[in-house]
Chains A and B, each alone.
Chain A
Amino acid sequence: MTLALTALALPFLAFVLQALVPPLRRSGRGAAAVSIVCVGGSLAAAARLWLAPLGAPLVRRWEWIPADGGPLVTVGIYLDPTAQAMLVLVTLVAFLVQLYSLSYLREEPAPALGRYYTYQSLFAFSMLGLVLAPNFVEMFIFWELVGLCSYLLIGFWYERPAAARAAVKAFWTTRLGDVGFVIGIVLLWRATGTFDFEALFGLAEAGRLPAGLALTMFLIYLGAVGKSAQFPLHVWLPDAMEGPTPVSALIHAATMVAAGVFMVTRAFPLFAVVPEVLTIMAWVGAFTALLAATMACVENDIKRVLAYSTVSQLGYMMAAAGAAAPSAAFFHLLTHGVFKALLFLAAGAAIHAVGSSDIRQMGRLFGALPQTGIVFLIGTLALSGVWPFAGFFSKEAVLSAVWDGHLVGPFLMLALTALLTAAYMFRVVFVAFFGADRAGGHPHDAPPLMAIPLWVLGFLTVAIGVRVAVAGGETHHPRGWLTALSLGLAGAGIAVAFVTYQWRVISPAALARALRPFDWMARRRYGIDGAYAGIYRGIILGFAWLIGWIDRYVVDGLLNALSAGTLSAGDLLRRIQNGRAQDYVYGVACGLLALLVASQIWR
């Protein structure tokens, strides 16, 4: 318990120090040191916590908002194996990313660097708080803090219009889902009278949850749709690439997008009672996975390819959750967190070396950047699902769960996605790291401060896989034909990429021509971004125009009419005031008459 609180408190301490002591923040490196030391402490606490096996969930609550009949809202900590694992992942990735950033952003001015580390500390604190939240209210608070931090970090280079736009887009898009989330939370409270996870799970276990929760849980699921970039709210994630690359690594691996999947995993006992929502979740997840994979195939920006692959992998996780296998989803979340952080950081190293994120500007980087090349290859193999890397097992667990859930459609979509994943990832590898030498200048390998996090993550990617391969993971039930299928799909994907981009037996252009409709649509992102823009222009601007019209003609007109009426009434009344005393006496006499008449009528 103390350890969990320590892990939570240290980043907050760093944030408070940086936020309240401007000289520290402006010193840049000093702020970085505080951040890194604190999150390192958190990592140590989380690791120590992870080593101690946990029986029942550890819960500790403090009363926050008191109400009649017991505390309505509490704050506290809910610690179970899921949270333990998540704590380690979050602190690990945050620690490595902060370490890496120190080198990656060394050319930033000191105040900007301090600002960056301030946000980083708050981000780590928010995510840890979300992981440890014992009830929906606390979770929602941290949930929004996470959204705020990703807004701040995506827009870190706020003087760039594209970054500012991307930050706002991320904020608004996730906010759409959050509206559903908060309504769902309140509806759930109305139905059950509690926000507390333990109480809710108790009700679910006893089968005493009230009926008709489908809409409520669907609304809560919407929150995850926004955060975890599920179709149709996935549009913000690729744009979030405008932030610094380490931020992308953090957002994609451990914090922002993980929040949605984590929330679904955390609240799974509640989702389990509404199979309709689970089915939707599975189909949407699988569809998202396939859609994002096709879009990744046509991207030339290495970060965007990775971004689409994240969307695609999040689809995997959601599909697994929808197939009633939250453990598979969570397992994939963990392994994906590790190797996606690796991929982003390696991509960052490559971008750093080349000065561009376009893979067509790279080429034969493997020779110049052997370290980066190796770890990127490790990450790619893991993401493609090649034995014995971590991604293979988690992906197989997901596929197996979806098959067990008798979800044939999603299963086929996910299988196709696996093929595409291998293909587009190896396309990047072949084009950027092998292939013709088109890189200008003299790219050099990453400095040690950047290399160390890469090697740590690379090692973990292999180690997790090997450990599961040797010991057999708790979520891994080998199934012969499925293993063969997974490996076959990955192999086929790699082969396609090799034949097209390395061996060049088939030209990419010919392939694109053969699949012209798909190519055409994927390049335009299936018109989804366009549709949002259209909605924005059509509806919001139309509405604004309407409001403007109403303001100009109805509201202003009303005021003008009012003032004109006042003026003309005054003009009429002015004529009564003719200044002749005798006419006023007429008025007095008529008033007296009126009084007399009135007294006759109402006596």
Chain B
Amino acid sequence: MGLQAYLLLAAAVFAIGLFGVLTRRNAVGILLGIELMLNAVNINLVAFSRFNGDLAGMVFALFTIAITVAEVAVGLAIVIVIFRVRKTVEADRLDLLKG
């Protein structure tokens, strides 16, 4: 299988994740979509790394995974706080930053 196949697979996962981010009402659901998108990126990084014979991409993928973990932890903590204060986690209603 060539690089193209991996990239297309990643693109498809990315689009699906984007779709989730755009359509989910629940904040946790949105976070799940973001996870998918980040995975797609990781696939790209690893695929490029392997096909170009350069380990830098894999190092990047490692970092991405670690950062994602941090992001999920903080993101979920925020979700829980919001839930406590506003009794909802629907993204529509969270518009305190409205201009």
Whether A associates with B in a native complex is yes
In the complex, which residue of chain A has the Cβ closest to the Cβ of B98?
A579
CB distance B22 to A582 under 8 Å?
yes
Query: How does the 8 Å CB contact mask read for A581-603 relative to B, with 1 for contact and 0 for none?
Result: 11001100100000000000000
B91 at the interface (CB under 8 A from A): yes
Which residues of chain A come closer than 8 Å to B96, judged between CB atoms?
A: 579
CB distance B95 to A579 under 8 Å?
yes
Which of B21, B97, B98, B99 contacts A582 (CB under 8 A)? B21
A143 to B21 CA separation, bound complex (whole angstroms): 84
CB distance A581 to B22 under 8 Å?
no
Which residues of chain A come closer than 8 Å to B94, judged between CB atoms?
A: 579-581
Which residues of chain B come closer than 8 Å to A578, judged between CB atoms?
A: 95, 98-99
CB distance B95 to A582 under 8 Å?
no
CB distance A585 to B98 under 8 Å?
no
Assuming the A-B contacts A586-B22, A589-B18, A589-B22, are A581 and B30 also in contact, with contact meaning beta carbons closer than 8 angstroms in the complex? yes
In the complex, which residue of chain B has the Cβ closest to the Cβ of A576?
B99
Minimal beta-carbon separation of A530 from chain B (angstroms): 65
In the complex, which residue of chain B has the Cβ closest to the Cβ of A578?
B98
How many chain B residues touch A (Cβ–Cβ < 8 Å)?
A: 12
In the complex, which residue of chain B has the Cβ closest to the Cβ of A584?
B97
CB distance B99 to A579 under 8 Å?
yes
A577 at the interface (CB under 8 A from B): yes
Chain A contacts with B in 252-285, Cβ cutoff 8 A:
none
Which residues of chain B come closer than 8 Å to A579, judged between CB atoms?
A: 94-99
A406 at the interface (CB under 8 A from B): no
A256 to B95 CA separation, bound complex (whole angstroms): 81
CB distance A577 to B99 under 8 Å?
yes
Which residues of chain A come closer than 8 Å to B95, judged between CB atoms?
A: 578-580
CB distance B99 to A580 under 8 Å?
no
A479 at the interface (CB under 8 A from B): no
Assuming the A-B contacts A580-B91, A580-B92, are A585 and B97 also in contact, with contact meaning beta carbons closer than 8 angstroms in the complex? no
Query: How does the 8 Å CB contact mask read for B32-54 relative to A, with 1 for contact and 0 for none?
Result: 00000000000000000000000
Which residues of chain A come closer than 8 Å to B97, judged between CB atoms?
A: 577, 579
Which of A574, A575, A585 contacts B21 (CB under 8 A)? A585
Which residues of chain B come closer than 8 Å to A575, judged between CB atoms?
A: 99
CB distance B99 to A574 under 8 Å?
yes
In the complex, which residue of chain B has the Cβ closest to the Cβ of A570?
B99
A588 to B30 CA separation, bound complex (whole angstroms): 15
In the complex, which residue of chain B has the Cβ closest to the Cβ of A592?
B18
CB distance B30 to A577 under 8 Å?
no
Assuming the A-B contacts A582-B30, A585-B21, A589-B18, are A577 and B98 also in contact, with contact meaning beta carbons closer than 8 angstroms in the complex? yes
Which residues of chain B come closer than 8 Å to A573, judged between CB atoms?
A: 99
Instruction: Give me the 6 closest cross-chain CB pairs, A-B, nearest first.
Output: A577-B99, A579-B98, A579-B95, A579-B97, A574-B99, A580-B95
Given A581-B30, A586-B22: 10 more A-B contacts, CB < 8 Å: A576-B99, A579-B94, A579-B98, A580-B91, A580-B92, A582-B22, A582-B91, A585-B21, A585-B22, A589-B18
Q: List residues of chain B with CB under 8 Å of any chain A CB.
A: 18, 21-22, 30, 91-92, 94-99
Q: List residues of chain A with CB under 8 Å of any chain B CB.
A: 573-582, 585-586, 589
Instruction: Please list 7 pairs of residues, one from A and one from B, whose beta carbons are closer than 8 Å in the complex, sorted by A's number.
Output: A574-B99, A577-B99, A579-B99, A580-B91, A581-B94, A585-B18, A586-B22
